[in-house]
Chains A and B, each alone.
Chain A
Amino acid sequence: MDDVSKVYGEGATKVHALTEIDLSVDAGALVAVMGASGSGKSTLLTIAGSLEEPTSGKVLVGGSRLSRLSRNERARLRRRSIGFVFQDYNLLAGLSAVENVALPLELDGVPAKRAQSAAMTTLEELGLADRAAHFPDELSGGERQRVSIARAVVGERHLLLADEPSGALDSANGEAVMRLILAACHRGVAAIVVTHDAQLASWADRVVFLRDGRVVDQTMPPSRPESLLMPAPNQ
């Protein structure tokens, strides 16, 4: 994102949702965006995922400038390269876990059989092979979110965008979700996680702080964790 701003409404009802955002995420990196509700976190994510257009500024995904792509090209980019994870999972209730995961591939024209087999491989990698035939309402909250992560990383996705991915999950499931996102990054996926939860954000390589639509701060690259285990001087 290069100098991205987003304004909603006009005149007296004008809201500056995002102002002059510069943010880049390398392949293989996990960036967390922290901020209070209303700070612009979700808007940032929908613009990064080409679900919404910025009022000004440039957005590039894998080198393609979104505003230069046609509507169809953008839709294809979303299907092929970008995976979304939402707080409330957004799985289709009438489809089994493996069908949910195969869906983005099938929508992209991959033959059903091949899509299902790719979906199955992804579910296996995420330790969900035995849940593949279950419908969302037969899965626990943690399992549903893992299925939605499988759907977000299936195929050749390069960018993973997650909005409060641990939502209402307990800390063990929240940790499991972050481990999966991190594993995707280790395979070369670039990920952005927006959250107000510091425990989730602390899995990231870099944490960016958003306030009133502006980036106000970010963490330095983490120093060696071993330094934590040195005795404090006053003990």
Chain B
Amino acid sequence: MSVRHALLALLSEGPKYGLQLREEFEGRTGEVWPLNVGQVYTTLQRLERDGLVESDESNDDGPQKGFRITAEGEEELADWLRTPPDLSAPPRDELVIKILVALHLPGVDVHEVVQVHRRYMVELMQQWTRLKEDEGHLDLGFALVVDAELFRLDSVIRWLDAADGRIKRATVEPLRPVAPTRPMPSVKRRSGVRR
């Protein structure tokens, strides 16, 4: 989560104070990502150092100090909005690793391990879904964050379901009889040809 760019976005609407930025950031993200005030000021200092925001001339470094975005800041924000997050390299997913480990551990039922994680994910989804039950009072930003989380957890469950099925098929298939090695059928066929 880029606090830096979120603050730039808020400042692109007009000059604001540090405390105001914190409140608006939390409000817009449905208060899912709390932000401490120190984090806001450190980020603002760095943005100012990089020439992306300017502060009031006053010497007051307290909560009444105002900030505004610069032209470079606007440009940086526009670039960031359109830059895709880096999803090209597969992350070293802890859950995937656990299932891979369970697959080869003697005495461990990998399907049981899959189910433990599936149930946990569904329980988390139940909690997130409860948050959007009261549709009338649903803040748009918050609803979007909840949906994002539900889709993310859903995709984990779908992977678990697919893995469960794939492992089941893989353990069933080797039990099928391999190509017959007994000579009887081919002998019969040969004698048939001769006739």
Choice from B118, B135, B161 contacting A179 with Cβ under 8 Å: B135
5 additional A-B pairs beyond A36-B161, A202-B128, beta carbons within 8 Å, are A201-B122, A202-B122, A209-B118, A217-B115, A228-B127
- Quick one: CB contact mask for A70-84 with B, threshold 8 Å, 1 for yes? 000000000000000
Chain A residues within 8 Å of B158, by CB: 198
A147 at the B interface (CB under 8 A): no
B61 at the A interface (CB under 8 A): no
Chain B residues within 8 Å of A36, by CB: 161, 164-165
Chain B residues within 8 Å of A197, by CB: 154
Query: Least Cβ distance of B147 to chain A in Å?
Result: 8
Q: How large is the interface on A (under 10, 10 to 19, 20 to 34, 35 or more residues)?
A: 20 to 34
Least CB separation from B36: chain A residue:
A231
Q: Is the CB of A202 within 8 A of B150?
A: yes
Q: Is the CB of B130 within 8 A of A198?
A: no
Least CB separation from A206: chain B residue:
B126
A12 at the B interface (CB under 8 A): no
Asked if A209 meets B115 with Cβ closer than 8 Å, knowing A199-B154, A222-B123, the reply is yes
Q: Is the CB of A225 within 8 A of B122?
A: no
Q: Is the CB of A198 within 8 A of B154?
A: yes
Asked if A228 meets B115 with Cβ closer than 8 Å, knowing A198-B121, A219-B122, the reply is no
A234 at the B interface (CB under 8 A): no
A216 at the B interface (CB under 8 A): yes
Per the bound structure, the CA–CA distance linking A176 and B130 in Å amounts to 14
Q: Is the CB of A227 within 8 A of B153?
A: no
A34 at the B interface (CB under 8 A): yes
Per the bound structure, the CA–CA distance linking A202 and B130 in Å amounts to 8
Chain B residues within 8 Å of A203, by CB: 126, 129
Query: Least Cβ distance of A210 to chain B in Å?
Result: 11
B71 at the A interface (CB under 8 A): no
Chain A residues within 8 Å of B128, by CB: 202, 225, 228
Pick the most buried of B115, B118, B130: most chain A CB atoms within 10 A of its CB.
B130
Choice from B115, B127, B131, B133 contacting A223 with Cβ under 8 Å: B127
Q: Is the CB of B125 within 8 A of A202?
A: yes
B interface with A by C-beta (< 8 Å): 31-34, 111, 115, 118-119, 121-131, 133, 135, 150-151, 153-154, 157-158, 161, 164-165
- Quick one: CB contact mask for A193-223 with B, threshold 8 Å, 1 for yes? 0001111011110010101000011111011
Q: Is the CB of A217 within 8 A of B126?
A: no
Per the bound structure, the CA–CA distance linking A225 and B145 in Å amounts to 14
- 6 interchain residue pairs of minimum CB distance: A202-B125, A202-B129, A225-B127, A198-B157, A222-B126, A225-B130
Per the bound structure, the CA–CA distance linking A204 and B127 in Å amounts to 10
Q: Is the CB of A196 within 8 A of B161?
A: yes
Query: Least Cβ distance of A165 to chain B in Å?
Result: 15
Chain A residues within 8 Å of B165, by CB: 36
16 A-B pairs whose Cβ atoms sit less than 8 Å apart in the complex: A36-B164, A179-B135, A197-B154, A198-B154, A199-B151, A201-B122, A201-B125, A202-B122, A202-B128, A202-B129, A207-B119, A217-B119, A218-B119, A219-B123, A228-B131, A231-B34
Q: Is the CB of B126 within 8 A of A219?
A: yes
